[in-house]
Structure 1
Amino acid sequence: MARPVTNAAFEALLRAAGYGNAHAAFARQLNHAGRNHGAWRYDAASVYWWLRGRRPGEDVQAAMAETVTRKLGRTVAVSELGFRGSHGIGACDYPTSVGRAIDAAEQLWTTLAKHPNPQVSGTLDNGKALQAALGWRYDLPDETVSRSGRQQVTSGDVQSLYALADHFTDLDRRHGSGSPRTRALMADFLVRQVAPMLHGTYTDAVGRDLMRAAATLSGQLAFMSYDAGDHAAAQHHVTIALRLAKAACDRLYGAHLLANLATQAVFLGHARDAARLVEAAIDGAGRAPGAVLARLYSTAATAYGQSGERRACQIALAKAERALDRTDRGTAPRWVNYFSHAHLAGAALRCLGDLHLYTQALRQAPDALTLNSANTRTRALHTALVAMTHARAGDTDSACNWSRKLAQDAAGICSARVQQRVLELTAMLSPQRGLPQVNEALHVLATMPAAAT
């Protein structure tokens, strides 16, 4: 069942401009208006989410106003579109010092713990994201992070935090993060346990490890917020995590965080900025372990694929494959051990499909589904990609078969990203709803539960 519209102002403008029942046409005109910003690929599903609470970036809103202005014959201000900022999280600035990073982290975690169900936002501030990348890459390292406070922090205290990070990561991969309760639970833990440790007493060595653990937890919360569709909060969490990783002198995890931010930018259609972010990550990672480089280059490939850069995409995929083939799991950081040939195949499936190389893309499908049983959400995302690629290639029967498989794989998963792919697949199949197999597939997709964001 479709969600109710929450942005009445935007809906009224679409109706007045003749787009009330033509969301796909509006998306096409929007893509044309934004051609100078990159290869936007918004569609009817994007409009659906904007009407129901997501907030696009400032450049997208400007193009929206321009599109509606042309149709109405009068100037439409961005303020008339009805989008509002995400509540209570403040400006997403890269902290200039460790102390400011700790204060900003505590404030952000406290806000989420107290307001577990904020208005979901589609905002990604590309300028702030690139500033954070520059700060992480080129700012001087912190001379010391030792501190004198109320609570003594030991190395054993810090090690317990990594076990909790692993627990939340496993929950996220198995069930998705669409439910605000999971994120609120993690934020409450950060406020009650981690923030006092950050304000405590520790040596420089213990402090570096504490910063690394806090960065890992904040980075996980960032990814969970992204999966829930709360993009402004996700960017804020990852910016804090980047600064904490900088304080920890952990360039590899910092590069991983930038790649996560690039993945978020790809999801929102900002391919050029995504490419810049992941290029900064690759540059900053240096001579990294194979698994880390494989993950970074696969993210770069998705950005290049979305922007239509075929050669750059194929080069990045080849580099990712070579790096993964020489991976030594014993020397790789613990947070990248999840990345497998199945994850790389999923990235190849996506970016080759974006390049309209459907036959090549579908060759990746079998490998993309050979996932560890714990990666439940990724399996659903990859299954949706297989169905969408068949639909784009014109193989309606296969697309319908995979749609039914998607309904099975996505059972029990609460994820805005999975729901977005369901909506995209529905939009692809809808023009052929006269066919019995399409009607059956659309019915199955329509009865899937929406992500509880």
Structure 2
Amino acid sequence: MARTRIPNTRLRALIEETDWTQGGLARAVNTVAAEAGLVLRYDRTTVAHWLTGSHPMPRVRPFVCEALGRRCGRVVTAEEAGFTGQGAVVAAQLAPANANGLVGLLHQLTGPVPYRPARTRPVSGAPGTGSVVGVVRTPYMRNPASLFFTRTLQAQGGGFARGTLRTYLTEAVAGQLRGVRGELRRERYAEASQLALVLGRMYADDLRNGEAQRCYLAARELAITAGSRELTVIALRTLSVQAHGLGHLRIADEVARAAVGIAHGTPRAVRAFAQAQLAVTAASCGERGDALRALSEAESGVDLDASGRHPFECYARADFEFQRGEALLALREPAEAMPAFEYALAARASDDRRGAALTRLRLADVLLRLGRVDETRSLERELREHGDGLRSAAVTRRKLELGRSLLRFGGGRRAV
């Protein structure tokens, strides 16, 4: 006997509250899922089925709740949306940043999870704004494991060795957090914070932004436990970069300003790192004066020669010039942005294949915007020669987008 479906009146009430059409909800769910690296092509008929009593797949339900929650401005649970009997899809909250919490977090990263902008937004008086009392001494920032995995990310992309890093964090680092006291505690938690940041960057490079966000939030909590302003600033800045890349511009700007606000007393490279991101977010929000001031302050802290330095204790010129280009693009000055990206590309370390690929792609965007199609095709050829083999979903997606953009232009010889 066929099961009789019960219309989902709770979901219908939420759709009415959001003032969305069924197609509007479908598009919002597709967007939230895309942030987590999941491709959905839902339309109004999909939502119509849900309203008649069908349920979305378990892995999709969190994305539906997140889309509704963003529109309503509050948390929407699966039960409130009328999706009953799926306890496993209730969003897990970030566990305390201790050994068990870190292991639990890592075990949760088994599939796509929604990116939640609301969790990135800084809360007044929350840990990380006023409770970080010290600066971790420089030797703690030179952890060899974080150096190894950062260079692996740069050379191979986020899809390479991510499982190895997760295992290392779960089986080695988390165990070292148990029962430690004093200076050793600060050292261990600082190491865990660095590695959680690198793991998050690997997930983000694979377009799995929900998992990346959880890693970044864990890294921030670990940094606070370590008493490290340096690492707290870096974690906040990374959260801002992610929010900006996903189009949550106001949140990105709030977090960038929070990072700058607590960076006082940290080394100049850390302050520059925070200011460079503020330049991008301020420019994106139309705050030209703030953006230019932040760029000027950031430039004064750039390391002219970062070769051989640990990435957590320096701010390389190539990375700053990339941010300068992004800020100038946001200020709608592509002609001024182009030399910044050219400088960034020339300054990239030879083993930073991922950074070079992303810089070439951004430079190609600018050249195409300026109508310099032949030069754009030349960059596309360079990408084929030097960027192949990277296990980076972010690079792959942008290369496809560049190829589609070039198809709109006639004339010139296609790259082979």
Give TM-score, length-normalised by structure 1.
0.68
In the alignment, which residue of structure 2 is the partner of 1:357? 333
Aligned positions of 1:216-255 closer than 5 A:
216-255=194-233
Q: Deviations over 1:179-225 (max 9, x none)?
A: 4xx221111112211222212x3332211111111111112111111
How far residue 172 of structure 1 moved from its aligned partner, in angstroms, is: 0.7
Contact 1:110 1:187 in 2 (8 A): no
Q: Distance in 1 between matches of 2:387 and 2:64?
A: 29
1:183 correspondence with 2:187: no
Q: Whole-Å Cα distance in 1 between the matches of residues 70 and 191 of structure 2? A: 41
Is 1:165–2:142 an aligned residue pair? no
Q: 1:338 and 1:57, CA in 2 relative to 1: closer, same or farther beyond 3 A?
A: farther
Give the counterpart letter for 1:137 in structure 2: G
| TM alignment of 1:64-213, pairs within 5 A | 90-93=91-94, 95=96, 101-112=98-109, 115=110, 118-119=111-112, 123-131=114-122, 135-138=126-129, 140=131, 162-179=143-160, 182-199=161-178, 201-213=179-191
> Counterpart of 1:288 in 2: which secondary structure?
coil
- What is aligned with 2:378? 401
Quick check: 1:51 aligned with 2:40? yes
Q: Following TM superposition, by how much is the alpha carbon of 1:250 offset from its aligned partner in structure 2, in angstroms? A: 0.6
Cα offset, 1:336, TM superposition:
3.1
Deviations 1:17-54 (A, max 9, x none): 9x9xxxxxx9xxx8xx9xxxxxxxx9xx99x9743799
Determine helix, strand or coil for the equivalent of 1:51: coil
Question: Does residue 416 of the first structure (1) align with residue 397 of the second (2)?
Answer: no
- Between the aligned partners of 1:134 and 1:94, the Cα distance in structure 2 is 19
Alignment-derived partner of residue 448 in structure 1: none
Change (3 A) 1:247 1:188: same
Unaligned runs of 5+ in 2: 1-20, 42-58, 73-79
Relative distance call for 1:340 and 1:142 in structure 2 (3 A) is closer
Alpha carbons 2:280, 2:327 under 8 Å: kept: yes
Cα gap change, 1:160 to 1:288, in 2 (>3 Å): closer
AA aligned to 2:249 is A
User: Does the CA contact (< 8 Å) of 2:95 and 2:101 recur in 1?
Assistant: no
> Over aligned residue pairs, what C-alpha RMSD do you find?
4.0
SS class of match (1:91) = coil
Deviation at 1:420, TM superposition (A): 3.2
CA–CA separation in structure 2 for the residues paired with 1:360 and 1:212 = 39
Cα deviation, 1:241-297, whole Å, max 9, x if unaligned, reads 111111111111110111111111111111111111111111111132221122111
- The AA in structure 2 aligned to 1:252 is E
Distance across 2 between alignment mates of 1:212 and 1:407: 38
Alignment CA distance shift 1:243-1:62 (3 Å): closer
Q: 5+ residue gaps in structure 1?
A: 1-16, 20-25, 34-41, 66-77, 144-157, 445-453
Q: Does 1:391 align with 2:382?
A: no
**Greater fraction of residues in helix:** 1
**How far apart in 2 are the matches of 1:88 and 1:165?**
32
Answering whether residue 278 of structure 2 is matched by residue 300 of structure 1, we say yes
Give distance in 1, aligned partners of 2:90 and 2:240. Answer: 21
Number of the residue aligned with 2:342:
366
Distance 2:133 2:292 in 1: 38
Secondary structure, aligned partner of 2:318: helix
Q: Does structure 2 conserve the Cα–Cα contact (< 8 Å) formed by 1:92 and 1:235? A: no
Other-structure match for 1:286: 264
TM-superposed CA distance for 1:131, in Å, is: 4.4
1:269 aligned to 247, 255, 260, which one? Answer: 247
Counterpart-to-counterpart distance in 1, 2:187 and 2:365: 43
Q: Structure 1 57/297 Cα, relative in aligned 2: closer, same or farther at 3 Å?
A: farther
Moved more, 333-342 or 271-280: 333-342
Residue identity matched to 1:378:
G
Q: How many residue pairs get matched?
A: 357
Q: How much has 1:160 moved relative to structure 2?
A: 12
The 1-side partners of 2:102 and 2:209 are apart by 17
C-alpha distance in 1 between matches for 2:132 and 2:167: 30
Asked if the contact 1:388–1:428 (Cα under 8 Å) also holds between the matched residues in 2, the reply is no
